[in-house]
Each structure stands twice: as structure tokens, then as C-alpha cells.
Amino acid sequence: MGTTKDIRDAVNAELKFDPLVDDADIHVVNASGDVALNGTVPSYPQYLEAAAAARRVGGVKNVHNHLEVVLPDADVRDDALLTTVANNALTLNVTVPDGVEASARDGNLTLTGTVKYGRQRQAAELAVAGLTGIRNIRDDIDLSYDADPVDVTLLVQSALDRNGLIADDSNVSVDTVGNTVTLSGHVRTHAEHDAVVGAAWMAGGVFKVRDELTITG
Amino acid sequence: MGTTKDIRAAVEAELKFDPLVDDADIHVVNVNGDVALNGTVPSYPQYLEAAAAAQRVGGVKNVHNHLEVVLSDEDFRDDAMLTTAANNALTQNVTVPDSVEATALDGNVTLTGTVSYGQERAAAERAVSGLIGLRNVRNDIEISYDVESPVDVDLHVQDALGRSALVPDDSDVSVVTKGGIITLTGHVHTWAEHDAVIDAAWMAVGVIDVHDELQITG
């Protein structure tokens, strides 16, 4: 994955290879591992999957997802219907706490409510992300945790030590101020990046994760 | 992650740390990185997440998920209701092809139908896996591809592995295809690398099954 052109070719090949992405109108720009995706895709899951495909590729340090979801006519749902379907999906999901609600406007879904953990917020997004008619999701779910966060730095650092993806000589550092965890240092891949950020979100009382990790690619 | 006791303790710590898992009735057994999860969890997403948590831990080579889903009374749904909810979830999901259907029996949902790609089959499973009242999913969806004989499947998968950030340049993973069935052999370091290889194989056109003979070195 030496040169700029190699990375763009590899991202193009990965988008073509991935059966869940229609790459017909995706244009890839690469500047030293900073990859931008421009153009359109026909669904929100494709929007997410295109970025995931680019992140899988070796040498990709950042993905700027500028794709726009342009729904085919058959997939357009009016806002009342989409709001109902989304709220049903949230209510029927065992991982999503009560109190999370969805409202659709022009195909864009906004999630509101209060949950305890960042992972529950993510579960709410996952519960609605595949619905036909969604163009984008705005996640405004608040986090609230009764107790003051205790030992968050220690808990997250222990989780990183346990993780099979994170090298023993990793220089990732975890710093907690109030309810905010700041992550800094170097990771080799997006998968390692996601493992570190995922670990930080699991700790009780974490409301915000500031991601200052550098992906070496 | 040197000794057997370390790995068990690390898996237990990971299960306790993961807010999406209630570890109260999970018992971990470890034999040289072969980890078994025994006991019960209160939902199917917890069943999946407990195994994922164990797989994140360094030194874990295999996870045998023997957990049983024991639903709380208020999460119980009768089969007619669960069947309806599951079929609605499939119909409303843009990634799941039309023909896929669900039937519930005693909280166990069976998926049937025909799709073109393994990834669509996985999407169908994801679309229903969070439903309240679900105890397990049996995925009987078949894969059928129109093209007579898919060409260069090995090559396409090998290329994908070559692009992957998670698969090292000196990887000894080998890809052999026969009649739409891919067999993967060789060594991977982590579960994340394992999953990257398996996912790449399932993405190729015309693949109807993937035989996983990969060894995780841990």
C-alpha cells in the first residue's frame, strides 16, 4: 500500500467487491491515506457500509464520508409512516431502554431520550438504521449516570490490556476528566482504533469520548 | 496473557466490564485458550455479545457458547406475536431481500428463503436478533446465484485479503474454492483478523458456503 494511487485503487476495489454497496456513483479521493467518499448511494445502510469498506483497507488513515443518500422512488416513506415504524422498532428491541424516541423529517430520523451507556445509544441507532426510507440518522440521545464515574481511566486501560487487537507496546493513553475520556496515541488500523474507542464507551459514567488517536495505517 | 488462569480472569473481567452483558449467571471455563461460556443470559443480544466479549480478549483461540437464553416473564412473547414482529422487521429492512421469512416456535425464530449473498443472510439475522421475546435464531436461508460458474473466486478473495489492513503481508491464509464452497486454512493472530478473513470470503460472488479451518494463534 505504498503510493497514493494504490490506496485509491484498493478502496475502489473494496467498494466494488462488497455486495452490500452499489458503487456506481461513489467517487474516491485519496490524499496520503485521507480518503474522501463523494457521490450518492441508494440507502443509509449503504452509506454506512461504504465507509466501513474504505476503513478495512490497509493504509487508510481517515475516511471522510460525504456520500448522500438518494432514495429510489419505491423506497421513499412519508414522515408519519417512518416515525411510526422507527418507534415500533425501538420499542420491540430488547437492548434499547424505554424512553428513546424517534421522529422523522424528510427521511432524516432524529433519536431523543436518555440512556445510561454509550453502547445503548449505539444499539438504538442500530435498531433503526436498516429501515426502508431512512436517509440519515441524527442521534441526540443523552447519557445520564447516577454515580460519579470511578476509576474510569483504570477500567478502560485494563480493557485495552486484555484486548487481543491492541499491541503490548501500544502507546495509547487514557485520560478522564469528569465524564469525558480523552484517548491519544497511535493505533495501526481502524479495527484497533474501533477497539480502543469501543472500550472507552463501555465504562460507566462516560458521556463523551474525545478521539485524538492517530492511525498509522 | 501467559497462563490459563489469566485468560479466564480476563474473559470474566471483560464480561463484567461490558454494559450490554449481565454476567451474573455466566461461568467461564478455559483450557489453553479454548474458552467455554456456560450458564444463562436474559436475552439473545446478550448471548451474542457475551461471545463477542470473550473473542475480544487476547489469547482466546476458540469460544464455545453454551449459554442459554432464559427470558424474564415480561420479555416473553407468544409465537404468533413474535412471528409477526420478525416478519415486519424483515419487510421493513432495506438490506434484506423480499423472499426471506421468519417463523417462531417457542421463542426460537427460523429464517427461510433465498438470497444472493452471504452478507444478505447475515443482514436478515441482524434485522431480527434484537427483538424482545427471541431466544435463538436458526438461519436456514439459502444462497443462490444466477451466474453459471462464478469465475476467479479464489483470486477475488485473495485480493481482498491483500487489501485488508488487518491481514499482515506475510499471512499464510490460503483460499481454495470448489463448487461455490470456499475453504480457508492457515493462521490468524486475533479474532478480529479471523472475522476479516471470513467476511471477505462471504463477499465474493457465487459463494454458497465458507469452511472455516483457520487457526487462531492468540
- HEC string for A40-103: EECCHHHHHHHHHHHHHECCCCEEEECCEECCCHHHCCCHHHHHHHHHHHHHCECCCCCCCEEE
Residue of A nearest to B217 (CA): A164
Element (H, E) at B41: strand B34-41
Report chain B residues whose CB lies below 8 A from the CB of A14. 160, 163
- Is A127 an 8 Å CB contact of chain B? yes
Average pLDDT, chain B: 93
Does the structure show a pLDDT above 60 at B2?
Answer: no
The per-residue DSSP string of B150-185 comes to --SHHHHHHHHHHHBSSS-TT---EEEEETTEEEEE
Question: Nearest to residue A165, comparing CAs of A184, A190, A200?
Answer: A190
Give how far B49 is from chain A: nearest CA, Å: 11
Tell me which architecture the domain covering A152-215 has in CATH.
2-Layer Sandwich (3.30)
Instruction: Collapse the DSSP code of B196 into the 3-class scheme (helix H, G, I; strand E, B; otherwise coil) and give the result.
Output: helix
User: Are B36 and B62 found together in one domain?
Assistant: yes
Q: Tell me the residue type at B169.
A: D
Cβ(A37)–Cβ(A9) below 8 Å: no
Residue B184, pLDDT > 80, answer yes
Q: Would you state the CATH architecture of domain A4-69? A: 2-Layer Sandwich (3.30)
Q: What CATH number should be reported for the domain holding residue B35?
A: 3.30.1340.30
Q: CB under 8 Å to B78, separation ≥6 — which residues? A: none
Chain B hits for A94, CB-CB cut-off 8 Å, are: 43-45, 75, 130-132, 134
CB-based contact, A72 to chain B, within 8 Å? no
Confidence of residue B1 (pLDDT cuts 50, 70, 90): very low
Report CB contact under 8 Å: B130, A96: yes
Per-residue pLDDT at A137 exceeds 90: yes
**Separation CA B194–CA B110 (nearest Å):** 27
- Single-letter amino acid code for the residue at B198: I
Residues B40 and B63 in one domain: yes
CB contact, 8 Å: A188 with chain B?
yes
The total domain count for chain B is 3
Q: What residue in A sits closest to B206 (Cα-Cα)?
A: A19
pLDDT band at B148 (very low <50, low <70, confident <90, very high): low
> Would you give the end-to-end CA distance of chain A in angstroms?
9
Measured between beta carbons, the chain B residues lying within 8 angstroms of A19 are 116-117, 119-120, 203, 205
Q: Is the pLDDT of residue B69 over 60?
A: yes
Across residues A97-118, what is the average pLDDT? 96
Asked if A159 and B19 come within 8 Å (Cβ–Cβ), the reply is no
Q: Using pLDDT thresholds of 50, 70 and 90, give the confidence band for residue B27.
A: very high
CATH number of A74-143: 3.30.1340.30
A178: left (phi over 0), alpha (psi -120 to 50) or beta: left
Residue-level pLDDT at B205: 84
Residue B53: is its pLDDT beyond 90?
yes
- Short-list B144, B150, B146, B149, CA closest to B99: B144
Q: Environment class of residue A146 by beta-carbon count within 10 Å: exposed (0-12), middle (13-18) or buried (19+)? A: exposed
Is B22 within a domain?
Answer: yes
Last residue of a domain, one of B22, B43, B69: B69
Q: How many CB atoms lie within 10 A of CB B99?
A: 12
Q: Are A94 and B132 in contact (CB under 8 A)?
A: yes
pLDDT at position B82: 98
* Whether B78 and B139 share a structural domain: yes
Please name the residue that has the C-alpha cell 429501515: A131
- Assign A146 a pLDDT band (cuts: 50, 70, 90): confident
Pick the last residue of a domain from B143, B166, B194: B143
Q: What are phi and psi of A169, to 5 degrees?
A: -95, 20
State which residues form the domain around B8: 4-69
Percent of chain A whose pLDDT exceeds 90 = 90
* B5 pLDDT higher than 50: yes
Whether residues B117 and A20 touch (CB distance < 8 A) is answered with: yes
Rounded to whole angstroms, the Cα distance separating B130 from B93 reads: 13
Of B20, B36, B69, the position where a domain reaches its end is B69
State the nearest Cα–Cα gap between B93 and chain A, in angstroms: 5
Dump pLDDT digits (tens) for A60-103: 999 999 999 999 999 999 999 999 999 999 999 999 999 999 99
**B148 within some domain:** no
Whether A1 shows a pLDDT value over 50: the answer reads no
- Inform me whether the C-beta atom of residue A196 falls under 8 Å from chain B C-beta atoms: no
Q: Are residues B139 and B96 in the same domain?
A: yes
In contact, B182 and B174? CB cutoff 8 Å: no
Nearest CA-CA distance, residue B89 and chain A, Å: 8
Q: How many CB pairs under 8 A join A and B?
A: 148
**In CATH terms, are A74-143 and A152-215 the same topology?**
yes
Give the separation between CA A178 and CA B85, rounded to whole angstroms: 41
Query: Are residues B78 and B135 located together in one domain of the fold?
Result: yes
* Domain assignments of chain A as residue spans, ordered by start: 4-69, 74-143, 152-215
Q: Which residues of A touch B127 (CB under 8 A)?
A: 130
Q: What is the CATH number of the domain that holds B113?
A: 3.30.1340
